[in-house]
Structure 1
Amino acid sequence: MSDHHSGYMAPEYAMQGIFSVKSDVYSFGVLVLEIVSGRKNNSFHQVEGPLNLVEYAWELWRNDCAVELMDPTLNTSCIIDQLQRCIHIGLLCVEIQAVDRPNIEDVISMLKNETSSLAMPKNPAFITRNTVLEEVEESTFSNLSLNQITISDVDGR
């Protein structure tokens, strides 16, 4: 899997190979967040801070600062309520559990009907540094066995 496209893959597909119509909803949610922010999902390379756009958007949302996600070039041509609604819908589309994501018909309805209420996002799918470290540790040590055998690999000069 190329790193270029992995940011759009739903976690159930990327990790388990399970694909459904909700996988496309996840990809659509990432795309919405990219459009609103003017940034690519994989454009985050800080040592500290979010690993990707979804994590960044979620941090801003939780801190009631979602407007800070907005691409500065939209500043004069954007209605803030519509922007926040798009971010809200984007976060609903990237829920970690596919069953919690709306179906695409509901997404279209949410985008068309600005007065309908939206569910609160629960837990967007993103990989944190701790998750990555735990998975590396598990995969590194889970296949090891302890015994009294020593293997040496000697190379000549």
Structure 2
Amino acid sequence: MRCPFCHSNETQVIDSRSSEEGWAIRRRRKCPNCGKRFTTYERVELALPAIIKKGGARTEFDAKKLRASMMLALRKRPVPLEKIDEAVSNIEQRLMALGEREVKSEKVGLYVLEELRRLDSVAYIRFASVYFNVEKPEAFVELLREATEGKGDKH
């Protein structure tokens, strides 16, 4: 680790401690060249896969965009924000667990549908009707049936 004061390439670790509930390591360092001390943090960096859109374009995964999409489906529904954040986190965990560098947006959409079905059937139907481009009343009836039966991955 390079010293931020004198830019020496050699620094010594004086102390290491677990931080952030075990998700980081805090290290106190000392530069033998200038004698100054400083703190560094070591954290796990997990990369989420890139998202391949329907048209083939690639984009970075954006949790804020995912949350906003879910919030739109859940608008005026009695679902606590903590549950929404938990659902977004579940989707992120599933994407990381895939171990893929790229994931099709359709897979993310299916994960969203699963989380919304668990949270609120009305939000599930709202999202599914847009996701599956539902235009006929019969298709809405099918969505309602699937929402109440716990299915919802075909159209």
TM-score range, shorter chain: under 0.3
- TM-score after normalising by structure 2: 0.27
Indicate the structure whose relative CO is greater, using CA pairs within 8 Å and at least 6 residues apart. 1
More strand by share: 2
Q: Which structure has the greater CA radius of gyration?
A: 2
More helix by share: 1
